[in-house]
Chains A and B, each alone.
Chain A
Amino acid sequence: MPKRTDIQSIMVIGSGPIVIGQACEFDYSGTQACRVLRAEGFRVILVNSNPATIMTDPEFADATYVEPITPEFVEKIIAKERPDALLPTLGGQTALNTAIALHEAGVLAAYGVELIGADVDAIQAGENRERFKEIVAKVAAERGLNAESARSVVCHTMDECLAAAGGLGYPLVVRPSFTMGGVGSGFAHDEDGLRRIAGAGLDASPTTEVLLEESILGWKEYELEVMRDRADNVVIVCSIENIDPMGVHTGDSVTVAPALTLTDREYQNMRDVAIAVIREVGVDTGGCNIQFAVDPKTGRMVVIEMNPRVSRSSALASKATGFPIAKIAAKLAVGYTLDEIPNDITRETPASFEPTLDYIVVKVPRFAFEKFAGADHTLTTHMKSVGEAMAIGRSFPEALQKALRSLEKKGAPFSWTGEPAGKDELLAACRTPHDGRLTTMQQAIRAGATAAELFEATAVDPWFIDQLMAIDEVAAELREAPQLDAAALTRAKRYGFSDAQIAGIRGMDEARVRDLRHALGVRPVYNTVDTCAAEFAARTPYLYSTYDEETEVPYGDRPKVLILGSGPNRIGQGIEFDYACVHASFELSRAGYETVMVNCNPETVSTDYDTSDRLYFEPLTLEDVLEVVHAEQQTGPVAGVIVQLGGQTPLGLAQALKDAGVPIVGTSPESIHLAEERGAFGRVLAAAGLPAPKHGTAATEAEALGIAAEIGYPVLVRPSYVLGGAGMAIVYDDATLVTYMARAGAASDHPVLVDKFLDEAVEIDVDALFDGEELYLGGVMEHIEEAGIHSGDSACSLPPMTLGGFDIKRIRAATEAIARGVGVRGLLNVQYAMSAGVLYVLEANPRASRTVPFVSKATAVPLAKAAARVMMGATVAQLRAEGMLPASGDGGTMPLDAPIAVKEAVLPFNRFRGVDTILGPEMRSTGEVMGVDAFFGTAYAKSQAAAYGSLPTKGRAFVSVANRDKRAMIFPVKALADLGFEILATEGTAEVLRRNGVHAKIVRKQSDGTGPDGEPTIGRRILDGEVDLIVNTPFGSPGQAGPRLDGYEIRTAAVLRGVPCITTVQGLAAAVQGIQAIVRGDIGVRSLQEHAHRLRG
């Protein structure tokens, strides 16, 4: 069936900000979809609030709306654009939920919008646990398939529970019905446990009902990625096996593709069930996944769940196989069938086939527990990882070891240096799933644990455990080899050992191992990911390294530019850097270079095989990058390597690459160092006459106290050599400083930097472009929160809402002086603090920053593309002449009627219960949104709606602020009262408000406890849903009782209940403007293309 001709315009919904469980994989899928739909001639209307995405680049859609993904806003866009169809399956759960809400509200019907690629009934059947169970049972009965769901019984009395337990066996999962957030559920391992947990559960359940379900903890876990077209052709794109057995969320599991421990009969049964279930569910067209658990003792197979849409696993499966699921899902949605779509990679065979792999893919999750003190590190069915790395090898050990080093995390790769901990201790640690459990298992093997002991402790399949043992045996061989010859090195390499690991085992220097290896001619070859195990020739060069026989790197004569990506997403280094890399690739390819991308993050657009002329799916370590450079140099001229766009990861390799003779283009490694090294940077500032906050470097507690005494409190303290503000704190007194120094000393050997903290300063972020002569000021962003909150967590506005032309002029001059002094060629990000009229320089980063995509969208200038060109030698003047940059002016000279863009950070506190939600100098946000409108208040309201759901316009506001904020809060709280909010406040805050004419009702603090007549505390009121807006600025010392703890409990309740919680007084002022804008009811929607037209004509 060919393309549908009855629809002309299609709306695509993205997934909004990056959050845990919904990350840039949906940018990847959405970008693919938009490209396909436009190429097919459809008018594409895109909605996504996340400015850091590639998909929201104006060139990927005809109308791009960076607006909140809420039914209200999407309806406005539908009313304006009148699309014929809506494709909701490529933007994660966010897009699907929004589409369903629009359907249920009758909006789609009212505007005649057809839902394509999805069927509402199918979505509901797939997502409703009970209906899904019925479908599995029906399929099993009608088609004679070996399929079932986990067995369960609904019970209303303890006698029923005990009887049910007799049938189901222990352990059992107890789930009380209708309790919030899974309260009262748990595992019962015996009758005593059942009586206890089910007893409490029956009490907790408003319907005196509990569900008892057999436990499938420890079972093998699998996933199939399925595609179906409207002619009912179905293919399985990929099978994925979780190495961590049932009990750990797939997103947090180490996974491998293809499945490695199933016979064909079991695999085909799984395949039959998957196909039968999606047919029965009625998935219309497109991709979906379905998960299974298999009892390792009996082979009994249970269907767990399905997702009727493209998912994180789809992105992984696409990268693992070369089968572009999202792209093909988009084509299927507009009417094509699988046999009508060519396989991109072979170009000669159709998409109606199942990829076969002659390599192994391993995915490992990356966590950020260090950012969330107090969070539970145990891995459960609630996803906690913030990113992932994928690696490809010709064997499982090779892929696994490459994946572990792709994580770029100390301690993640297996290590054979030092003494392992005790066997019993390590085995005990293995029992609880945790970040790095495989590494703990490897250490246990070193400590003498047997395969049987490890299996008993982890339930990881014995085949995988044996692979770990094999790796350990190769390490032992390596240690005992009389000399490191070609055979020993090749064997180690085939098991994935890095030069660094070999060096550790042999007690040598890594560089020495590399020299020796090169001298012996032991180098990797690069194989193609070709979907077909070499059965057909591949046209798309998507490569991975392995120590095999033949290399498949094609020859080329265009000058090549290598772009190093940013590796796994983590807090502080995410999609924004991928954005810059992808832009550089697009632009340099257009400019005649052959672009070569190196990255290991399967979620990204950069690792889509058609983003660059060639893709290497490789770890971003010095060794792996040097080998790629070598391979490319063997097949043509390499013009340069770009390290300044992928964040700290490639930047950290810059000097070593240069030392190894690799041509680094753009800002030189020496210049990068100049900006990062304090002393040198201080001299640059001094030469330019720019002030910086007073500071010092302390190695000891005494030194720290001395510096603090000299420069005065408050001080900002942080360990040197950090990323994303890790370990930063603002300290107000000696006692806290002493505590901090004790902790810092224990954590690292590096000295601590002590800076004067500029209280009540306005923080400013600048992104600029410098070609050696001319500075192009990309954008000036004013933070909404005060200085001291990490720029990544702070909301900001562009143009700056309170800075005047004179300030901008000063900022431009300072930025240019720094760019010149440091020697920047390309992008530069500078952070300033404006305090009492003085512009202080906080830091400068001569690289792409997190804000580049936001600035590009807010000013309608493709900064990253321009930067890539400057790095390759173009001048700002040239780019102005080409029209890439405006002919005159820059981001500092925006017209007065320019729209205001507000960026807001999105924080993952709901994933880490028990973690305090206040903002500080350490970055903790996972993503961002942008709100854009003619005025600040409206733009801010949009940013809040996009990040957290709409601001309330009526109801109760609770206010409790620190003394220093009391003056500043009066005016905005009064405005809230005028808008009709009932104001609740704690005693101190209420007094101030009352004296200023705001009626505030006093409520009990947490520490007051419930009142004599049962008056609830504020925490209780929040949990009971009585409060609609919370304003709570923190005070007191962390970890101590009193006001700080009160605030903590308030904020925790706010997170549990999902109530907007503002923790700075500046944020409050902005929110009030936003609420006023909503109440006025004049919030419209406008596409980026319309904004660009206004800005650039």
Chain B
Amino acid sequence: MSERSERTGGRAADDGGAGTAVLVLEDGRVFHGTPYGARGETFGEMVFNTGMTGYQETLTDPSYHRQIVAMTAPHIGNTGVNDDDPESSRVWVAGYVVREPARVHSSWRATRSLDDYLADSGVVGIAIPGTRALTRHLRERGAMRAGIFSGGALAPAEELLERVRLSPPMEGADLVGQVSTAEPYVIPAVGERKYTVAAVDLGIKSMTPHRMAERGCEVHVLPATATAADILALDPDGVFFSNGPGDPATADGPVEALRGVLDAGRPFFGICFGNQIFGRALGLGTYKLRYGHRGVNQPVQDRRTGKVEISAHNHGFAVRAPLDGPFDTPYGPAEVSHVNLNDDCVEGLRLVGRPAFSVQYHPEAAAGPHDSAGLFDRFCALMERSRGRASGVAGEGRAVRAASEEPGATTDTGENESA
């Protein structure tokens, strides 16, 4: 469950939404503001998100588990909250920092206000004038722990700082188990079922299986604890590892499971946390970025086509991999397929001779631009070809190799699958 140590479950009745609240950073910087959402206190890693739209998707993205998210866009809540846009069944952010909360909302789809939604979800938030100052601070000093305090949780600054410093850090945090589904479930294919996909939920967003289902995938969502045997027992056409919160260095279980999948030669696609797991399975290390990528405007280049996708990001960790060419792994040569043009961060990996690839960003794009949706088509194409090759061929590994060496099917983005 959540790390929030106090939840009031709603706005304090006496101050009618005004009053004071305070945001305290681990390094002692303090921002004063007014309470937003629930009153009380909350702790988490302080990060900022630069998206100008999509606050509802952000709030419900499990990858934000145990993070306090500051929105750089000043006006938040303008379109209220609707029933269609959540990316999971609950709000995951540990706390919310905005500048100008909407007083009324306006959208034909809205069912209630963001303020009420946050309060009902027990999310402690704060409205401060200095969201830009906060962002600049995090940019210069890096993501750090923070706490938001309001109502009965208010106390002298030194005491609040002490509480922040006692809260657990993000580095080394194993959070996947806290956000993953407890039981497997199935998202049926939209229309004719063409593929069976085993999707390991490390903090999956609901748009992800939806994007696969739209392409004819029957998606079996499995808990993060699923082993290779659990996955292969479904005899899937392909295996998917989702996004998720926390430090990938702690996720030994999923890494083991993925190695089993790769050994079996099943087509694999991972995103975000799934990319980091894939990196680890290939023997690469991961590291924490100073302040991460969180937003919907990041330029990622596909190194084979040269094409640039404007993409949705939410990651604080990244994979360390050689950018200058293919490198060896236990599964044969691999390469960095995508890079972030802002900072040359690794944004995608692929095995050269096997049907396995992953990206660090979010092709399901909720929120965010749909430029990378073709990656799901690429996954489907891999499953299609693997299946075609696999039938009637004895050695599975051989078959896979043959599949990859085949001039690839052209996806709708016009990319060629072959190396």
> Bound pair: A and B?
yes
Name the residue on B nearest A258 (C-beta): B52
Name the residue on B nearest A473 (C-beta): B103
- Given A263-B53, A264-B367, residue A536 in contact with residue B342 (CB < 8 A): yes
Name the residue on A nearest B131 (C-beta): A358
User: Which residue in B84, B301, B370 is a CB contact (below 8 Å) of A268?
Assistant: B370
Q: Which residues does chain A contribute within 8 Å of B295, judged by CB atoms?
A: 356, 533, 535
Q: Which residues does chain B contribute within 8 Å of A239, judged by CB atoms?
A: 52
Query: Does A549 touch B at the CB level, under 8 Å?
Result: yes
What are 15 A-B pairs with beta-carbon distances under 8 A?
A262-B53, A262-B79, A263-B82, A264-B53, A264-B296, A267-B53, A338-B308, A339-B306, A350-B342, A356-B296, A358-B74, A463-B106, A532-B50, A533-B295, A534-B136
- The answer on a CB contact under 8 Å between B50 and A352 is no
Query: Does B284 touch A at the CB level, under 8 Å?
Result: no
- Given A231-B307, A262-B79, A353-B342, residue A527 in contact with residue B102 (CB < 8 A): no
Query: Does B298 touch A at the CB level, under 8 Å?
Result: yes
Name the residue on B nearest A537 (C-beta): B139
- The answer on a CB contact under 8 Å between A353 and B74 is no
- Given A235-B310, A463-B102, A463-B104, residue A353 in contact with residue B298 (CB < 8 A): yes
- The answer on a CB contact under 8 Å between A356 and B133 is no
Binary per-residue interface labels of chain B (97-114) against chain A in the complex, 1 for a CB within 8 Å, 0 otherwise: 001101111111100000
Query: What is the CB-to-nearest-CB distance from B170 to chain A, in angstroms, rounded to a whole number?
Result: 19
User: Which residue in A236, A268, A549 is a CB contact (below 8 Å) of B130?
Assistant: A549
Which chain B residues (122-158) contact chain A, with CB distance < 8 Å?
129-133, 135-136, 139
Query: What is the CB-to-nearest-CB distance from A656 to chain B, in angstroms, rounded to a whole number?
Result: 30
In the bound assembly, the distance between CA atoms of A348 and B301 in angstroms comes to 16
- The answer on a CB contact under 8 Å between B109 and A462 is no
Give the size range of B's interface with the partner: 35 or more
- The answer on a CB contact under 8 Å between B75 and A263 is no
Which chain A residues (526-543) contact chain B, with CB distance < 8 Å?
527, 532-537
- The answer on a CB contact under 8 Å between A353 and B310 is yes
Query: Does B116 touch A at the CB level, under 8 Å?
Result: no
- The answer on a CB contact under 8 Å between B74 and A536 is no
| 12 extra interface residue pairs, beta carbon distance < 8 Å, beyond A264-B367, A350-B342 | A231-B307, A263-B109, A264-B57, A264-B366, A352-B308, A356-B51, A463-B102, A466-B102, A466-B103, A533-B48, A533-B50, A548-B130
- The answer on a CB contact under 8 Å between A550 and B132 is yes
Query: Does B286 touch A at the CB level, under 8 Å?
Result: no
In the bound assembly, the distance between CA atoms of A401 and B46 in angstroms comes to 33
In the bound assembly, the distance between CA atoms of A272 and B295 in angstroms comes to 18
Q: Which residues does chain B contribute within 8 Å of A548, judged by CB atoms?
A: 129-130, 132-133
- Given A394-B74, A462-B106, A463-B105, residue A265 in contact with residue B84 (CB < 8 A): yes
Chain A residues at the B interface, C-beta cutoff of 8 Å = 231-233, 235-236, 239, 258, 260-265, 267-268, 271-272, 296-299, 337-339, 348-350, 352-360, 394-396, 451, 461-463, 466, 470, 494, 527, 532-537, 547-550
Query: What is the CB-to-nearest-CB distance from B84 to chain A, in angstroms, rounded to a whole number?
Result: 7
- Given A231-B307, A296-B108, A349-B341, residue A264 in contact with residue B72 (CB < 8 A): no
Query: Does B409 touch A at the CB level, under 8 Å?
Result: no
Query: Does B365 touch A at the CB level, under 8 Å?
Result: yes
Q: Which residues does chain A contribute within 8 Å of B99, judged by CB atoms?
A: 394-395
For the complex of A and B, list the 10 residue pairs with the smallest distance between their C-beta atoms, beginning with the closest: A264-B54, A549-B130, A264-B367, A533-B72, A264-B53, A549-B133, A354-B297, A463-B106, A534-B135, A358-B72
Query: What is the CB-to-nearest-CB distance from A217 to chain B, in angstroms, rounded to a whole number?
Result: 18
Name the residue on B nearest A461 (C-beta): B106
- The answer on a CB contact under 8 Å between B85 and A263 is yes
Query: Does B184 touch A at the CB level, under 8 Å?
Result: no
Q: Which residues does chain B contribute within 8 Å of A533, judged by CB atoms?
A: 48, 50, 72-73, 132, 135, 295
Q: Which residues does chain A contribute within 8 Å of B298, judged by CB atoms?
A: 353
Query: Does B333 touch A at the CB level, under 8 Å?
Result: no
- The answer on a CB contact under 8 Å between A535 and B85 is no
Query: What is the CB-to-nearest-CB distance from A409 to chain B, in angstroms, rounded to a whole number?
Result: 27
User: Which residue in A299, A349, A354, A534 is a CB contact (below 8 Å) of B72?
Assistant: A534
In the bound assembly, the distance between CA atoms of A337 and B342 in angstroms comes to 16
In the bound assembly, the distance between CA atoms of A21 and B73 in angstroms comes to 31
Query: Does B177 touch A at the CB level, under 8 Å?
Result: no
User: Which residue in A271, A272, A339, A527 is a CB contact (below 8 Å) of B308?
Assistant: A339
In the bound assembly, the distance between CA atoms of A265 and B297 in angstroms comes to 15
Q: Which residues does chain B contribute within 8 Å of A258, judged by CB atoms?
A: 52, 73
- The answer on a CB contact under 8 Å between A339 and B132 is no
Query: Does B299 touch A at the CB level, under 8 Å?
Result: yes
The winner among A261, A264, A272, A360 for most chain B CB atoms within 10 A is A264
Binary per-residue interface labels of chain B (384-413) against chain A in the complex, 1 for a CB within 8 Å, 0 otherwise: 000000000000000000000000000000
Q: Which residues does chain A contribute within 8 Å of B50, judged by CB atoms?
A: 356, 358, 532-533, 535
- The answer on a CB contact under 8 Å between A349 and B53 is no
Name the residue on B nearest A451 (C-beta): B104
Query: Does B178 touch A at the CB level, under 8 Å?
Result: no
- The answer on a CB contact under 8 Å between B103 and A233 is no
Q: Which residues does chain B contribute within 8 Å of A235, judged by CB atoms?
A: 310
Q: Which residues does chain B contribute within 8 Å of A271, judged by CB atoms?
A: 369-370
Name the residue on B nearest A355 (C-beta): B297
In the bound assembly, the distance between CA atoms of A537 and B139 in angstroms comes to 9
